[in-house]
């Protein structure tokens, strides 16, 4: 029952985003006031990402292990709700700021699309373990999909800055941190090799670590840390 409901929700979301992409593209082609190619491009990419989600939800196998604690559900709902409630671009007074923010949002959405395609049927809503993916963007960071989502949302906030959007972004970021930690716990419990993968792959961004000194003064190499 829960699987069927999830499939229906994502199918409706995909339909809505595709319709929005068609409208945004049509507005640009017809020269409608207030339309822009940047908004249309972001909307098309968003539709591609959500449509990919809908397809993968229908195709994915049963999770081998998943977190069903209240905190996992709350974090998931908070992240989806905050992202969906962000005020879209269009009312900001600075055209340059809007363009820059949309460029960041487009880059983040492109990264999201590449990440979800690499993730494939291992995609999940709640923190779950279906498979250990190490290809594509997952070779660079452990949570590229979350990184793309955070980047896209940050771009939207920059394109339409307001206190409400800033607070929504903070809620979204906090919820994603909780989801990442819960997901890592599930993957660690199912896949013994995850610890080695996590040791060599940063969570979101690579930060340089100081190189250790030996007694003779020689430096020992160290792997990059995780954000």
Q: What is the pLDDT of residues 3-60, one digit of tens each?
A: 788 889 999 999 999 999 999 999 999 988 777 888 999 999 999 999 999 999 989 8
Residue 193: HSE in the Cβ half-sphere, 13 Å Cα cutoff: 4
Q: What is the pLDDT of residues 59-74, one digit of tens each?
A: 988 888 887 889 999 9
The topology (CATH level 3) of 2-202 is 1.20.120
pLDDT at 92: 56
Ordered by start, the domain boundaries in the chain are 2-202
Q: What is the pLDDT of residues 78-125, one digit of tens each?
A: 999 999 999 887 655 678 888 899 999 999 999 999 999 999 999 988
DSSP reduced 3-state for 84: helix
- Give CA–CA dist 6/87, Å, rounded: 25
């Amino acid at each position: 029952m829960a699987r069927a409901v999830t499939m229906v929700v994502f199918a409706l979301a995909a339909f809505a985003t595709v319709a929005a992409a068609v409208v945004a593209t049509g507005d640009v082609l017809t020269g409608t006031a207030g339309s822009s190619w940047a908004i249309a491009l972001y909307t098309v990419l968003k539709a591609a990402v959500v449509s990919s989600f809908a397809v993968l939800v229908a195709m994915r196998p049963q999770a081998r292990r998943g977190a069903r604690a209240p905190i996992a559900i709350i974090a998931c709902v908070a992240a989806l709700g905050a992202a969906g409630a962000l005020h879209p671009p269009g009312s900001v007074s600075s055209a340059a700021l809007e363009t820059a923010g949309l460029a960041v949002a487009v880059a983040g959405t492109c990264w999201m699309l590449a990440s979800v395609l690499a993730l494939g049927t291992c995609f999940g809503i709640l923190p779950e373990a279906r498979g250990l993916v190490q290809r594509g963007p997952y070779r660079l960071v452990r949570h590229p999909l979350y990184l793309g989502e955070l980047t896209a949302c940050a771009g939207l906030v920059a394109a339409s800055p307001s206190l409400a959007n800033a607070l929504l972004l903070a809620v979204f970021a906090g919820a994603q941190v909780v989801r990442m930690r819960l997901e890592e716990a599930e993957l660690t419990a199912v896949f013994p090799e995850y610890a080695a993968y996590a040791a060599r792959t940063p969570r979101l961004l690579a930060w340089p670590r100081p190189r250790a000194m030996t007694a003779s003064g020689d430096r020992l190499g160290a792997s990059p840390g995780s954000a």
